[in-house]
Amino acid sequence: MPAVNGPATDADLDTLLADIDAARSQGLAAIAAALSTDELAQVESGLFGRKSALGPIKQALGSLAPDQRAGVGRALNEAQQELRTAHAQASDELAAVARREQLQREWLDLTETPPGPERGHLHLVTQTTERLEDVFVGMGFTVSEGPQAETDWYNFEALNLPAAHPARSMWDTLYLDLGERTELGDGEGGEASNVLLRTHTSPVQIRVMEVQPPPIYTICPGRVFRRDTADASHMPVFHQLEGLVVDRGISFADLAGTLEEFTSAYFGRSISSRLRPSYFPFTEPSAEFDITCVICEGAGCQTCQRTGWIELGGCGMVHPNVLTNCGIDFEEWTGFAFGFGIDRLALMRHGIDDLRDMYSNDIRFLSQF
Ligand code: FA5
């Protein structure tokens, strides 16, 4: 391109216009040759700006006479505009291609059912619950269910835990704010502040005894909620299985025998159970029930802290106040109840170290069971 100093000759102007045309053609060719957005970005600095092929022509424009400047300026603007349009169009097309390729790469066929061991199955906790139900149904129990959102009455008061009872602190409770609503869906009582996520499955006992006259032989498996921080043996949402028997002449020996029968049916004959005195407001007398450590089979190991036993849950004879709250005559009927954590039971049975693993949704962990 010629250096133009002072009024340009016709030859100078022809050279400038030819340079503009050449820069335009080269620019369009470079745009067309770019095969990806990255390549187009590299081409960009050669098309626009001071270092572009048109940059020096723009600078030369200032030294032209006004009537000469108009013609060259128009040609320059048209060339720039054409390059911008071609660049924007190529940029859109290449971005669309890149997006199509990415979608192709990341495409997952969610309808596909992989063959063989890759097939999905029930979660370990569901499997465990179903197995436990089978064992108890085989022993003559029915299966009962209740709501997960409960009233204070069912979760505490009917279970002999009045508002000021110190044992309420055993269950860190999550209360529900129902706003304007003051009733649960089924129309049963419960001020908004009295509605909570059940902290145990024991309220299902009350619901069963309210509607079913004795004899009662039932289990109540289900999800429960506590304000516990998740750690290796605690979850804020976990599962319990409650057992309830009410009949004439039921004694503590029946409770012990039922738990022993269940333990060997579920864990095998090498595992047995024992009862230790404890306290629950809704049972009297109350006990904790332990089973032989499933890891060392009673020899003593780290899991059972060398005792040979691990705690499974709580149990006892149904408190007369609880029977009375459900309209059952405690002079005529007696009963026992027990409750244990399903998640911890699955943990013990399968030798899992950490409860949180069961809820991490890691397919490598879940596919083992
Ligand atoms: C109760 O909840 C009583 N309702 C059990 C009961 C029923 C006693 C009937 C007497 C008669 P407890 O708070 O101990 O008891 O809980 C029972 C079991 O739930 C525990 O033994 C444990 O296995 C399990 N558990 C408790 N908290 C958690 C938690 N945060 N994460 C996982 N499992 C838990």
Q: What is the 3-state secondary structure (H, E, C) of the chain?
A: CCCCCCCCCHHHHHHHHHHHHHHHHHHHHHHHHCCCHHHHHHHHCCCCCCCCCCHHHHHHHCCCCHHHHHHHHHHHHHHHHHHHHHHHHHHHHHHHHHHHHHHHHHCCCCCCCCCHHHCCCCCHHHHHHHHHHHHHHHCCCEECCCCCEEEHHHHCHHHCCCCCCHHHHHCCCEECCCCCCCCCCCCCCCCHHHEEECCCCHHHHHHHHHHCCCCEEEEEEEEEECCCCCECCECCEEEEEEEEEEECCCCHHHHHHHHHHHHHHHHCCCCCEEEEEEEECCEEEEEEEEEECCCCCCCCCCCCCCCCEEEEEEEEEECHHHHHHCCCCCCCCEEEEEEEEHHHHHHHHCCCCCHHHHHCCCHHHHCCC
Q: Cα 132 to chain center, whole Å? A: 25
Which of the four pLDDT bands, split at 50, 70 and 90, describes residue 276?
Answer: very high
Exposed (0-12), middle (13-18) or buried (19+): which is 340, by Cβ within 10 Å? buried
Angle at the Cα of 241 (from 203 to 369), degrees rounded to 5? Answer: 145
If one compares 94 and 44, the residue with the highest pLDDT of the two is 94
**CA atoms of 19 and 241, how far apart (whole Å):** 87
Closest CA to ligand 1's atom 28: 234
pLDDT band per the 50, 70, 90 thresholds, residue 186: very low
Nearest atom in ligand 1 to the alpha carbon of residue 201 is 4
Across 65-74, 133-142, 154-163, 171-180, least confident range: 171-180
- CA terminus-to-terminus distance, the chain: 78
Chain center to CA of 250: 43
Instruction: Give the Å distance between the CA of 266 and the centre of ligand 1.
Output: 19
Q: What mean pLDDT comes out for the span 69-86? A: 90
Strand partners, 242: 220, 339
Q: Are 261 and 139 in contact (CB under 8 A)?
A: yes
For residue 313, report the distance from its CA to the centre of ligand 1, in Å: 6
162: its two tokens? 């009045």
Which residues share a beta bridge with 310? 291
- Give tens-digit pLDDT for 310-326: 889 999 999 999 999 99
Measured from the Cα of 199, ligand 1's closest atom is 2
Average pLDDT score over residue span 274-300: 93
Q: Whose CA is nearest to atom 9 of ligand 1?
A: 338
pLDDT at 192 over 60: no
> To 10 degrees, the CA torsion angle through 54, 56, 62, 64?
-90
Ligand 1, pocket residues at CB < 6 Å? 200, 202, 226, 228, 234-235, 238, 240, 242, 280, 283, 313-316, 337-341, 343-344
Residue 187 has pLDDT above 50, yes or no: no
| CA atoms within a 13 Å half-sphere pointing along the CA-CB vector of 34 | 28
pLDDT of residue 211: 97
Q: Out of 12-21, 60-69, 208-217, pick the least confident.
A: 60-69
Strand order in the sheet with 309-318: 142-143, 216-225, 237-247, 334-341, 309-318, 283-292, 273-280
Residue 55 has pLDDT above 60, yes or no: yes
User: How many angstroms does the Cα of residue 296 sit away from the middle of ligand 1?
Assistant: 23
CA proximity to 252, closest of 337, 177, 354, 333? 337
pLDDT value of position 194 = 84
Q: Over the stretch 125-148, which tens digit does the pLDDT of each residue have?
A: 999 999 999 999 999 999 999 999
pLDDT-above-70 percentage for the chain: 92
Q: What percent of the chain has pLDDT over 90?
A: 56
CA gyration radius for the chain? Answer: 39
How far, in Å, from the CA of 240 to the mean position of ligand 1? 7
Q: What is the mean pLDDT of the chain?
A: 88
Nearest residue CA, atom 31 of ligand 1? Answer: 234
Residue 15 has pLDDT above 50, yes or no: yes
The pLDDT-based confidence of 59 (bands split at 50, 70, 90) is confident
In this prediction, residue 152 has a pLDDT band, given cuts at 50, 70 and 90, of very high
Buried-exposed string 347-363: b where 16+ CB fall within 10 A, e elsewhere: bbeeebeebeebbeeee
Q: Choose among 129, 20, 4: nearest CA to 74.
A: 20
Burial class (CB within 10 angstroms; exposed 0-12, middle 13-18, buried 19+) of 191: exposed
pLDDT exceeds cutoff 80 at 185: no
Give the Å distance between the CA of 76 and the centre of ligand 1. 83
23 alpha carbon to ligand 1 midpoint, in Å? 81
Angle between helices 37-44 and 10-33 (to 10 degrees): 160
